[in-house]
Amino acid sequence: MGESPATIYDVATLAGVSIATVSRAINAIDSVRPSTRDRVLAAMEQLEFVPNSVARGLSSGKHWILGLVFMRASVESGVLGVEEASLLYTDIVIRGAESRAAELGYSLLLSSSDDTHPSNMSSILNLTGAVDGLILLDRVLKDDDVASLAKKTPVVLLSGSGECPTAVTVRVDNEQAMRSLAEHLVEAHDITQVGFVTGSNESPDSVARTLAFTTAITELGGQVNACDVLVSDWTSAGGESAMQARLERGEPLPQAFACANDQTAVGVIYALNARGIKVPDDIVVTGFDDITLTRYFNPPLTTIRQSGSILGEVAVDALVALLDDPDGAKATIVLPTQLVVRASCGCAKDLEPARLAQGELANAGGAT
């Protein structure tokens, strides 16, 4: 038989303190003197003692677990209904959240939901007894449901509208991002006739990007015709389908199409190429996200860069701040974006990074 794992009693004996002091040191309670905490931590390291999360919960009133809920990818006939790259972006957000949660002493519990909102609410409510708070990704719940959920547990929304008064929202600066893109198209390329390909109609990000871009283009003297606002669903297949339908109408195309995300732009370019319409020679196409493969597209894609990992990290920071001080938490945290200029807009060479919308991405955002 091997040796039994060290216990809190062993740590207390080696450090020369009480069990209660060890517990307070583990939970970073301010009443423990720094020298005492250092002695406890040294004893824990020497004994290779791993704190039990249940015991921590009993002493602190916390589970030390944060929940993160994302939209489940549909599977039909054994095939995912969305592209792998779309899942990759969600994975990047999750990895950022998991890393920051671990740094702060929390575990991250993942759960997925589908498009049936009542079912979502039931499954999410079941999580509230097991976690200290919840992070909800885009489209997981409607605002009315969020308000109800936030009465039971602290909630942080990723990519929400920012209009839910009972939850903290973490989002990127869609308004400045789309303005920087509109300015580049108008000022650098003299483009005045523009279209936009949306994401999901239920997504606050898609709604915000559509409105911000069309507004900016109009204010800069350009025009976005209603027939050139195409509805997609964040996927390449959706972008391809939306552009095919637009081409079938046989009406003249605008000079450019901006897309709500990079995956949509891929589908749009594919549909245009299939009709012999070349990007950027015949029409300009841009994206949003700067997923890993965008620089390797043909042509390389002009896009807006946002950091999924930083979104995840800041969401965890916001939730922990909400747990520590519910009254002092920021209502909305806005993260900067970056315009990345490549060949798909007609620029002769890869000029990235072109400009920052609001400072370096690493400087995680302002609040309103």
Q: What does the domain layout of the chain look like in residue ranges?
A: 8-60, 65-172+309-335, 174-306+337-361
**CA atoms of 176 and 180, how far apart (whole Å):** 6
Q: How far is CA 48 from CA 22, 56, 340, in A?
A: 14, 17, 47
Q: How far is CA 183 from CA 11, 190, 211, 213, in A?
A: 62, 10, 15, 10
8-60 CATH choice from 1.10.10.1100, 3.40.50.300, 1.10.260.40, 3.30.1330.10:
1.10.260.40
Asked if residue 210 lies in contact with residue 177, where contact means CB atoms within 8 angstroms, the answer is no
174-306+337-361 CATH choice from 3.30.70.20, 3.40.50.11540, 3.40.50.2300, 3.40.50.150:
3.40.50.2300
**CA atoms of 175 and 186, how far apart (whole Å):** 16
Q: What is the pLDDT of residue 124?
A: 81
Extract the tokens encoding 321: 């701040």
Fold match between 8-60 and 65-172+309-335? no
pTM: 0.75
Extract the tokens encoding 211: 């409105």
pLDDT digits (tens, 9 = 90+) for 67-122: 999 876 554 444 444 445 555 678 889 999 999 999 888 899 988 776 654 456 67
Q: Are strands 133-136 and 155-158 parallel, antiparallel or unpaired?
A: parallel
The confidence band for 368, taking pLDDT boundaries of 50, 70 and 90, is low
pLDDT value at 207 more than 90: yes
**CATH architecture, range 65-172+309-335:** 3-Layer(aba) Sandwich (3.40)
Is pLDDT larger for residue 177 or for residue 48? 177
Asked if residue 333 lies in contact with residue 168, where contact means CB atoms within 8 angstroms, the answer is yes
